[in-house]
Amino acid sequence: APSPTAQIGVTGLAVMGSNIARNFARNGYSVAVHNRSIAKTDALIADHGGEGNFVRAETMADFAAALQRPRRALIMVQAGDATDAVIEEIAAVFEPGDIIIDGGNALYTDTIRREASLAERGLLFIGAGISGGEEGALLGPSIMPGGPAESYAAVGPMLEKVAAQVDGEPCCTHIGPDGSGHFVKMVHNGIEYADMQLIGEAYDLMRKALDMPVAEIGTVFKAWNDTELASYLIEITADVLAQVDAATGKPLVDVIVDEAGQKGTGRWTVKSALDLGIPVTGIAEAVFARALSSSRTQRDAAAGLAAGTLAPPPADAAAFIDDIRAALYASKVIAYAQGFDQISAGSREYGWNVNPGALATIWRGGCIIRAQFLNRIREAYQEHPELPSLLLAPYFRDAVESGIDSWRRVVATAATMGIPVPAFGSSLAYYDGLRAERLPAALTQGLRDYFGAHTYRRIDAEGSFHTLWSSDR
Ligand code: ATR
């Protein structure tokens, strides 16, 4: 038999898998390529074989035989049962010391389970979150690998090479043990949900409060991309709003059904946040807003419900657009602050020791939420690694403080004009709740003690107290 030549293998050659295989080949690695059905493997080699050194593997045994030891295999199939099935097939032909990397969107608890069970068989495992969509996979994604340090040492340099590069630094770093990589990827997607919801609310306000044409709103987003909001999502919002439907001549956004889909990572983020007790209100509102949009039966039935007396539009449109920009930025800061809170809570819960500054660093390029302001987050954590909330970093505190009046005007105007802004509104409520000296939680405690003798603590004495509450005399 010829001696194995491939430095890495990719199995699962749908769009993401074949693009990342090409990315490895373009970076000079010899890549074994495998897919359950050989047609995708052959199509990849036929269409892109000239880009580098691919080794065609028809069976899993061929795949294993093609790989230099320790073998390195990247799995790019659907999360869930397919991933388990493929891991099993690979484990059957790999030997102790070989490395399996799951690059899919696995649930982090599955990754914890898989890492432990493969470790028992002497195999090394990495659960790597990969963000950036098709284009990122080909040209350089943001990669969030979690697993034992030994596994990272064996594949980290290759992953760092194919990742996006920002200011000479790769958008890939070892996140921590077992499920940490997929956990931070999950929260990344949750933040992406919040980011998109906030952008949607800003757009809706310009449409409904200011009656602006779609193209004009697109122009506003384009201009915003030259401000502190500069980011991939703001940039592509301008493109989406500029797109005209060839069939009708209308803005394309006006012929798209207004029901948002979801694949589940936003929902996972919120479920995990509930378990960890972390208020990720921006992300939760974004998940629920998608659910509301898809509640077709209720929406149709509710279409005639009263709006009450609505306020007139803001008198100064230009000033209101500027308020929306400030409200968007402040709400975005809240969404990230909440997401990073969840990451530090997850890190504490599972003992991962995730470095938030390093994470912000690898989110600056490649991924969907890449944005100028991740540089600010990175600086904030570099200065104060133990920051209790991003909101307390001087840069973010100042940014929110300088936008607060705009933020209140936007939320108030939306309420009086009957325009739903769940993410803007809940982010403001979170901010006001966090900074409040006293919260009505004292009353909640009183009620709990009244009906259930749950006891309460006093501000002026140690211990638990119970009152024999008297009913209305
Ligand atoms: P697409 O992006 O085309 O929708 P997909 O349906 O998500 O892709 O599937 C992604 C990859 O998972 C495919 O390569 C698929 O293999 P096939 O081309 O043979 O369908 C692979 N896949 C899905 N389930 C699998 C399983 N149980 N075992 C092995 N590979 C599987």
ipTM of the complex: 0.92
**Contacting residues for 340 by C-beta, under 8 A, at least 6 apart:** 356, 377, 390
pLDDT at 4: 87
Among protein residues, the one with the nearest Cα to ligand 1's atom 2 is 14
> Ligand 1, from 11, 13, 34, 36: best to mutate by most atoms within 8 Å of Cβ?
36
Atom of ligand 1 nearest to the CA of 15: 2
What is d(CA 39, CA 232) in angstroms, rounded to the nearest whole number? 34
Atom of ligand 1 nearest to the CA of 36: 19
| Confidence label for 472 from pLDDT (cuts 50, 70 and 90) | confident
What is d(CA 250, CA 254) in angstroms, rounded to the nearest whole number? 7
14 CA distance to ligand 1 middle (Å): 7
Per-residue pLDDT at 1 exceeds 70: no
What is d(CA 114, CA 116) in angstroms, rounded to the nearest whole number? 5
pLDDT digits over 76-108, tens only?
999 999 999 999 999 999 999 999 999 999 999
> Can you read off the two tokens belonging to residue 22?
């090409």
> Can you read off the two tokens belonging to residue 216?
């004009």
The H-or-E segment that residue 274 falls in is helix 265-276
190 CA distance to ligand 1 middle (Å): 25
pLDDT at 465: 98
Report percent pLDDT > 90 for the chain.
98
Q: Which of 1-10, 265-274, 290-299 has the lowest mean pLDDT?
A: 1-10
Strand bridging mode 72-75 / 8-11 = parallel
55 CA distance to ligand 1 middle (Å): 19
Report percent pLDDT > 70 for the chain.
99
**Beta-bridge mates of residue 11:** 34, 75
The H-or-E segment that residue 125 falls in is strand 124-131
pLDDT digits over 356-400, tens only?
999 999 999 999 999 989 999 999 999 998 999 999 999 999 999
Q: Could you list the active site residues?
A: 185, 192
Contact (Cβ atoms closer than 8 angstroms) between residue 198 and residue 424: yes
pLDDT at 110: 98
The burial of 432, by beta-carbon neighbours within 10 Å (0-12 exposed, 13-18 middle, 19 or more buried), is given as exposed
> Ligand 1, from 77, 102, 105: best to mutate by most atoms within 8 Å of Cβ?
77
* pTM across the whole model: 0.96
Torsion of CA 462, 464, 466, 467, to 10 degrees: 20
Q: DSSP character for 317? A: H
329 CA distance to ligand 1 middle (Å): 39
Contact (Cβ atoms closer than 8 angstroms) between residue 333 and residue 191: no
Q: Quick one: average pLDDT of 254-276?
A: 97
Crossing angle between the packed helical segments 265-276 and 317-350, to the nearest 10 degrees? 60
Atom of ligand 1 nearest to the CA of 40: 18
What is d(CA 245, CA 52) in angstroms, rounded to the nearest whole number? 38
Atom of ligand 1 nearest to the CA of 39: 18
Contact (Cβ atoms closer than 8 angstroms) between residue 195 and residue 233: yes
Per-residue pLDDT at 2 exceeds 80: no
Q: How many residues does the chain have?
A: 473
pLDDT at 473: 62
Strand bridging mode 72-75 / 165-166 = unpaired
End-to-end CA distance of the chain: 94
Using DSSP's 3-state secondary structure scheme, residue 33 falls into: strand
State which amino acid sits at residue 447: L
Contact (Cβ atoms closer than 8 angstroms) between residue 91 and residue 118: yes
Task: Count how many Cα atoms sit within 13 Å of the Cα of residue 165 in the half-sphere of its side chain.
Answer: 6
* b/e code 87-120 from CB counts within 10 Å (16+ = b): bebbbebbeeebbbbbbbbbbbebbbebbeebee
State the chain's mean pLDDT as an integer.
97
Q: DSSP assignment of 215-242, as one string? A: HHHHHHHHHHTTSTT-BHHHHHHHHHHH
| Confidence label for 3 from pLDDT (cuts 50, 70 and 90) | confident
> Can you read off the two tokens belonging to residue 437?
């000296």
**Contacting residues for 333 by C-beta, under 8 A, at least 6 apart:** 373, 390, 391, 396, 399, 400
> Can you read off the two tokens belonging to residue 298?
């209720």
Residues with CB under 6 A from ligand 1: 12-15, 35-37, 40, 77-78, 82, 85-86
Atom of ligand 1 nearest to the CA of 37: 19
What is d(CA 289, CA 296) in angstroms, rounded to the nearest whole number? 13
60 CA distance to ligand 1 middle (Å): 15
What is d(CA 384, CA 342) in angstroms, rounded to the nearest whole number? 18
- Whether omega before 157 lies within 30 degrees of 0, making that bond cis, reads no
> Can you read off the two tokens belonging to residue 280?
């990720």
78 CA distance to ligand 1 middle (Å): 6
pLDDT digits over 32-73, tens only?
999 999 999 999 999 999 999 999 999 999 999 999 999 999
- How many degrees, rounded to 5, is the angle at CA 63 between CA 59 and CA 67? 165
CA distances from 55 to 100, 156, 227 (A): 18, 22, 46
pLDDT at 16: 97
Torsion of CA 422, 426, 428, 434, to 10 degrees: -170
Q: Quick one: average pLDDT of 231-253?
A: 98
pLDDT digits over 326-346, tens only?
999 999 999 999 999 999 999
Using DSSP's 3-state secondary structure scheme, residue 185 falls into: helix
pLDDT digits over 404-446, tens only?
999 999 999 999 999 999 999 999 999 999 999 999 999 999 9
The burial of 3, by beta-carbon neighbours within 10 Å (0-12 exposed, 13-18 middle, 19 or more buried), is given as exposed
Q: How many helical (H) and strand (E) elements, i.e. helices and strands, does the chain have?
A: 19, 9
